[in-house]
Copies of this chain bind each other. A is one copy, B any other.
């Protein structure tokens, strides 16, 4: 069978000195990865880079041509170290300018929470010309989409809200298939079975993850496929029956 299903690819760029210095534990990679998996989009690469204009620009220019979707998190707030929007404008060679829709969103939000739309906050309405807003109900300050680049905030609850919007925007209905086997046998005992299963079945990938709690406690085997549900369930049956032979 020839597979005609298109598998979309994605790359995630985490922009933040605070992750690289160890000050902050990243909580966004896992959420974005899970959500992309649910959409049937293959996350191929994550990079964590500092808040530096030159580095952001060079990464964006390189990665937007290599993946169907590029998602960035971080650096779109009101302070001096929030340089993501300006850097992305430079990367895609669009004017960095006031987006009236974003301005209205901010106005509405700060009126609601009885606070002032200061000059610093106005910065959050600036983005590359032609951007489409990525709204979120958590903070009022929108992210944006330009070309195939989706620009999110860095705060996890806002990333989660923006990821919901992303899923509405892309309108891809795809599905990956995945199943798990847990066994108390050591990884080394079943290694040959996994090799055989991967040879025997098409379009599947098998990951083997030791369960380790001071010492080895067994292994979790994940069988997945981006295209073929039947291969996944057949491979599972095969592995289980081979494991039963050696228990």
Interface residues of A (CB under 8 A from B): 14, 17-26, 29-37, 43-51, 77-81, 113, 115, 118, 120-121, 138-139, 155, 157-158, 178, 186-192, 194-195, 198, 205-210, 212, 214-216, 222, 224
Chain B residue numbers with a CB within 8 Å of A36 are: 22
Chain B residue numbers with a CB within 8 Å of A50 are: 44
How far is B35's CA from A21's CA once the two chains are assembled, in angstroms?
A: 9
Chain B residue numbers with a CB within 8 Å of A80 are: 191, 194-195, 198, 206, 208
Given contacts A79-B191, A139-B212, A186-B115, contact A30 B25 (CB under 8 A): yes
A-B contact pairs, 17 of them (CB 8 A): A17-B207, A18-B207, A19-B30, A19-B33, A21-B33, A22-B30, A22-B34, A22-B35, A23-B207, A44-B50, A45-B49, A46-B48, A77-B210, A78-B187, A80-B195, A80-B208, A118-B188
Q: Which of B22, B216, B224 contacts A37 (CB 8 A)?
A: B22
Not counting A77-B187, A155-B210, a sample of 15 additional A-B residue pairs whose C-beta atoms are within 8 angstroms of each other reads A14-B46, A21-B178, A22-B36, A23-B207, A23-B209, A23-B222, A25-B30, A26-B26, A46-B48, A78-B188, A79-B208, A80-B194, A81-B206, A120-B191, A155-B212
Q: Which of B35, B43, B194, B212 contacts A157 (CB 8 A)?
A: B212
How far is B80's CA from A139's CA once the two chains are assembled, in angstroms?
A: 46
How far is B190's CA from A79's CA once the two chains are assembled, in angstroms?
A: 8
- Whether A26 and B24, one on each chain, are in contact in the complex, defined by CB atoms closer than 8 angstroms, is no
How far is B247's CA from A51's CA once the two chains are assembled, in angstroms?
A: 29
